[in-house]
A and B are shown apart, each in its own frame.
Chain A
Amino acid sequence: MLVAVLTYVGYGVLTLFGYLRDFMRQWKIEKCQNATEREEQKDFVPLYQDFENFYNRNLYMRIRDSWNRPICSVPGAKVDMMERVSHDYNWTFTYTGRVIKDIINMGSYNYLGFAQKAGTCQEAAAKVLSQYGAGVCSTRQEMGNLDKHEELEKLVARFLGVESAMAYGMGFATNSMNIPALVGKGCLILSDELNHASLVLGARLSGATIRIFKHNNMQSLEKLLKDAIVHGQPRTRRPWKKILILVEGIYSMEGSIVRLPEVIALKKKYKSYLYLDEAHSIGALGPSGRGVVEYFGLSPEDVDVMMGTFTKSFGAAGGYIGGKKELIDYLRTYSHSAVYATSLSPPVVEQIITSMKCIMGEDGTNVGKARVQQLAENTRYFRRRLKEMGFIIYGNEDSPVVPLMLYMPAKIGAFGREMLKRNIGVVVVGFPATPIIESRARFCLSAAHTKEMLDTALKEINEVGDLLQLKYSRHRLVPLLDRPFDETTYEETED
């Protein structure tokens, strides 16, 4: 409660200062640093309204150095960053030319550690490069359907356990171009509160009616479903043509996992269709990395549309949709991406094929399985240790995305900078990606992190947490002793 009040106070002070500085800038007391409109176009309608940019100018600028940090090596478990300083409070940056080496990378979505100079992946990619070149220069339906794409799609279908799959060039575009192909006017979309921008954009572009249910709340979803079927479309009362439920496997800002068994039960009872976006959960959950469906032990046939991206766990780019053959045939004909957008680039396709085979174990080694297990162990260890230290962590126990609450605006910038000083790279998120008082730091665990790296990181987080007073949790877990599990060992104490 106190923290919430202090957060609001913090934002209030920043806003006041913002107004003051705008005022000073308008009256030319302070120099105006940002770019301005051309002289010839001064009498045009202004391109940006002043208030839109208020946040940008005054709040974001102060802590801008935590974002867009350029790196100069592969973003694997450790990364090299180009050092940059700002002499005018973050309006411009100059690169000192030095490189900060070996920063432990806790911000990249590198769940299975495929983003590194691996041997086999690299050789295969080099071979394909010299044969195929980089681009494709045509759309899928015209002359852009290479044999490599067909190979990839068969492999993806086998990996997911579905009849057929189709791959696209960009994860974001997969959602925003295929949802409009599946639903249209007269259909209903039920979307989770915290869905990703691509799902929201796809839903809006489709023209269907959108209703939002509370995050992971099955009662809210059931109520919406009942109301929708009973009352039909608003005003005309005609029955809906289709109902589509949009959920994600792991929500990237919360770290929570969707309640898939319950959603599937609801879907079957009310005869609606389920669209599952596994951008973060594919490769990261499940005993063999097949995603959230395997994690819950369900059959992939229950999910109508399984969508995912190759960006996070496979170290490549692009997205896919898997499902029944009729669905994929329909998408091959009517998806916006198949008709108007270029297909995947061949070396990227090769990277996906090699890493997918590695995870499935088809390349003859045990590397894939070992990585999936390592990731699960890392996740549990890291989360437990953070909870023991007293931080507030959101999300499910098994999710490799760990948001650590910061709340106050000043701590966002401070946390980012302090961690960088200690050679740990983290990602801090604030408004508008999160609600205004819930800013957080987000850690992304990877199978490439060894226990030593995690321990170093945890030690530093502990220090910074003490320094910035981030240990808000009032529940303290007593650390587990090395004794066989006993009910009395472990108690939650109230401070």
Chain B
Amino acid sequence: WESFLPSQVLVQPVQLICLYAPAYHLILEGILILWIIRLLFSKTYKLQERSDLTPKEKEELIEEWQPEPLVPPVPKDHPALNYNVVSGPPTHIITVNGKECINFASFNFLGLLDNEKVKVTMIAFLIRKQVNYLRFLHFFSQIDVHLELEERLAKFMRTEEAIIYSYGFATIASAIPAYSKRGDIVFVDEAACFAIQKGLQASRSNIKLFKHNDMADLERLLKEQETEDQKNPRKARVTRRFIVVEGLYMNTGDVCPLPELIKLKYKYKVRIFLEESLSFGVLGEHGRGITEHFGINIDDIDLISANMENSLASIGGFCCGRSFIIDHQRLSGQGYCFSASLPPLLAAAAIEALNIMEDNPDIFQTLRAKCERIHELLQGISGLKVVGESFSPALHLQLEESCGSRENDVKLLKRVVDYCMNSGIALTQARYLEKEEKCLPPPSIRVVVTVEQTEQELDKAASLLKEAAQSVLN
């Protein structure tokens, strides 16, 4: 058994390999082995940063570092610092800073804030149950009132399902990130409100802004996207596309051209999300919003989101649409899953408000007539121009000519507002976060029309604004 000595066991296979393996193979292996040996014996280089500073130097750096103050100081006369204090409810006659005025500043379009029937229902509800709900959604907080409100809203809007949020701002800001994720594309109007902007920021998708209400610009962007897609069809098949628009824009008071949007939707295969905070309960024959106004099939819109804080004079918001779309938010809408639900009291108030809306469909006509009246009356004020559609209940009055800087414009408008407040009409300037808005609208005075205002009051407001503009601006 000498033939099985270890050296022979080793030598034989090696000999075989040398004989049968091709030459380049051997050379390659040889190079590899030499390189490994080199790596093993070479010095390792540490990354620069770690070995540079001694502990003493680190201590010094920590000593020296001075952070900025947590918040910069706010000048005492900053326009947004001193709020108007409203004593009592913000109804038709409102007491602002101690003075009684007619309210032209709260979004109480249908006058339901002060409605006796709503209050009676709420008090009855309070006696039956208590103010609060108290739980974080998922566990013991869907009370029967919520279910009823969701059903009623779905039935009113003629969609399959609706979902309730406890805060109006959070509604659209949670709905958008639930569907649109990183890598998806969203086409949004420049004048979109801040809540939409925050929703888009949270979704981390690609945002493409198109000029306000400019369908040609939108089509151009969609065409560009189409050519991009053709370069990379595999990616295009999984990138979702959305258009986000508002029914009645808060910042400019005009409507979006929905019929053209629907055509673009089917042509370029994009989904539409509609934000109807101002147009719900205002537009359309029965107050169903812009889809009723234009006579469009509601199933053509993928998601309608609105808040209940304007026409319904309650708190919270809702999204409605087909079950396929809405049900997804129950598990992935952040403002729904991680937050407490709407207090049942406010849900009951919303249901009663809905009842009133359904029973009196002629209030929408009345509201529209008043809007048109004030729109007419406010034309021709020297120095101020009216921005908004004639049937929009939330108008803006902007300076015809700016005086150079935004600050001065704001001061000038403040004087106009103060003049009106001193004479009994409560108005407010439209507030924005100047540094955070994507497309900051020019400073303006907000004029809100409600059903409760009588014709004399409308006339009074218009004449007062003319006077104010005369005295302040000229």
What is the interface of chain A, defined by CB distance below 8 A to chain B?
A: 34-38, 40-41, 43-49, 56, 60, 67-75, 79, 82, 105, 107-110, 114-118, 121-122, 125-126, 129-147, 150, 169-173, 177, 180, 182, 196-198, 201, 204-205, 226, 229-231, 239-243, 270-273, 304-305, 309, 311-312, 315-317, 326-327, 329-334, 336-342, 345-348, 351, 425, 427
Contact = CB atoms under 8 A, between A and B. Distances in A.
Contacts of B340: 171, 309, 311, 317
Contact of A339 (B67, B240, B431): B431
Nearest to A335: B433
B338 A198 contact: yes
Question: Which of under 10, 10 to 19, 20 to 34, or 35 or more describes the interface residues of B?
Answer: 35 or more
A111 to B, nearest CB: 10
B71 A326 contact: yes
B99 interface: no
Interface stretch (B114-122, B398-406, B460-468): B114-122
4 smallest CB-CB distances across A and B, nearest first, come from: A170-B167, A330-B71, A35-B324, A134-B349
B132 interface: yes
Given A136-B309, A196-B338, A315-B134, A129 B85 contact: no
6 contacts: A67-B139, A74-B129, A134-B118, A135-B315, A342-B309, A348-B132
Contacts of B141: 71, 75, 108
Nearest to A48: B328
Given A145-B84, A173-B169, A340-B195, A130 B105 contact: no
Interface string B190-219: 000111001001100000000000000000
Nearest to A40: B266
Interface of B: 49, 53, 58, 61-62, 65-68, 70-74, 78, 80-81, 83-91, 94, 96, 103, 105-108, 112-115, 118-119, 122-123, 126-127, 129-136, 138-144, 146-147, 166-170, 179, 193-195, 198, 201-202, 236-241, 266, 269-271, 299, 307-310, 312-315, 322-325, 327-328, 330-331, 334-335, 337-340, 342-343, 345-346, 349, 426, 428-433, 436, 446
Nearest to A197: B338
A143 B106 contact: yes
A69 B49 contact: no
B85 A72 contact: no
A150 B97 CA distance: 13
B470 to A, nearest CB: 25
B90 A141 contact: no
Contacts of B338: 172, 196-198
A329 to B, nearest CB: 5
Contact of A347 (B105, B106, B138, B345): B345
Contact of B65 (A71, A239, A331): A239
Contacts of A110: 134
B314 to A, nearest CB: 5
A145 B315 contact: no
A439 B198 CA distance: 32
A75 B140 contact: yes
B132 A316 contact: yes
Nearest to B78: A333
Contact of A137 (B119, B127, B310): B310
Contact of A107 (B61, B84, B135, B325): B135
A79 B166 CA distance: 22
A482 to B, nearest CB: 36
A205 B131 contact: no
Given A47-B179, A48-B328, A56-B331, A142 B138 contact: no
A332 B81 contact: yes
Contact of B269 (A36, A45, A60, A182): A45
A330 B433 CA distance: 12
Contact of B139 (A45, A108, A270): A108
A71 B143 contact: yes
Contact of A134 (B105, B327, B346, B426): B346
A317 B343 CA distance: 7
